[in-house]
A and B are shown apart, each in its own frame.
Chain A
Amino acid sequence: MELDQQSVQDLKAELSKHGVFTTTFEELYNWGRKNSVWPLTFGLACCAIEMIATTMARYDLARFGAEVFRASPRQADLIIVSGTVTKKMAPQVVRLYNQMPEPKYVIAMGACAISGGPFRDGYNVLKGIDRYIPVDVHIPGCPPRPEALIDAFMTLQKKISEQQLTGAGRPRHLHAELPSEFPVPEYAEHGLEPTENAEVWNPLKVIQG
């Protein structure tokens, strides 16, 4: 018998009232993943100080299962880009992301990481890390408060729990043909080459006139 989503949810709710708990493999798998996200020990500027504050006793990111900051990208599955990404640093950020195993996630924290922020017109500031790697959650703020980072983290958890293991809507890491590594930009005479990765960067178009 084929049941639609709503009937399944109703049945589960009804059964739980009688002390019978049911779940799906997908739910169990995502529940486990979302509650043990290991971020990379990686900070770039003042936002990193707020990120550190978020992990300490007052805000306590450990409540969400993300207290294990790993010093190696090989053991991390979340990179929090916390601060200004200079053009000199951008290749290293992309390389760190490439070295992380799938499934992996990116939070762009603060005005600089999402757009260049107050330093946007500087000669050495990248205008947003989403030009090179796929960002899951953007947080505005300069710097964002720890509550904002927790909110972004909960948004990411929600995103993880909604990921499908099968079907056309499954995430990138379950598509064998989609890339898990992204081209590292190179230093050139006037800036970085290329200036963006068109496959991940979908800017809003600025209309003039």
Chain B
Amino acid sequence: MSAQTISVEQVKALLEAAVSGCRVEIMQNGSPSAQHSLVLDNEHAVEAARFLREDPELRLDFCSNVTGVDWLDAELSEKMKTKKLVDGVETEVEEIKKTRIPGYLEAVYHLFSMKKKHGPVVVRLRTSNRTDQTRVPSLTPVWRSAEFQEREAFDLYGIVFEGHPDLRRILMWDEFADYPMRKDYVPPADDDEPVHAAGEGTQ
């Protein structure tokens, strides 16, 4: 099986057949690379990951990369045409319907097979939100190479990997409280050069 012959649809079908109850969602990548990815549900993620590694057809025995993505709360605006009574006459009115999409954090895994020489298969895990429900299952028990990179995603994005053997900050110091790679992170301004209004004493 070469890189061309492995598609996300195939992997999704194999996964859903092998792991009962597993919900897999395909996330399309519209760019020319067309590197589509699979979103796994958190309850079955570890079991599904183990299947991806062990299945003789897939044999995804190498996790090359783990990273995080921060999806902010978004607002979707849709133009809707509705009929309304305006001055007693029924007329068609264009309304903008706004839907709020709550944000979440994502852990992204890039999987390859050394045995079968194919890949990458991109797998994503999602948290419920970006504030208090930031848990996803750790895939370190399946791929040992994920250990430090999951720690990095925890350090910089605040994704809590349940089942990780040693979840500590890895780049920032332990006392650090923020998650600097989140999109709404603002670095402290107090270590910038002092700015004075014009007219104040110059040096």
Contacts and interface: CB of A to CB of B under 8 A. Distances in A.
Chains A and B come from one and the same complex: yes
Interface stretch (A28-36, A40-48, A172-180, A199-207): A199-207
Chain A interface size range = 20 to 34
A208 B187 CA distance: 21
B80 interface: no
B191 A127 contact: yes
B88 interface: no
B76 interface: no
A209 B188 contact: no
Interface in B173-203: 173-178, 180, 185, 187-188, 190-200, 202-203
Contacts, number: 67
Contacts of A203: 193-194
B172 interface: yes
B185 A208 contact: no
B171 interface: yes
Interface in B104-129: none
Interface stretch (A59-67, A68-76, A135-143, A185-193): A185-193
Nearest to A204: B203
A138 to B, nearest CB: 15
B197 A208 contact: yes
A88 interface: yes
A207 B175 CA distance: 34
Closest 7 CB pairs of A and B: A209-B198, A123-B180, A189-B177, A187-B173, A195-B191, A206-B195, A187-B175
Given A207-B195, A209-B198, 10 more contacts: A123-B178, A124-B171, A191-B191, A195-B190, A195-B191, A205-B202, A206-B196, A208-B196, A208-B198, A209-B197
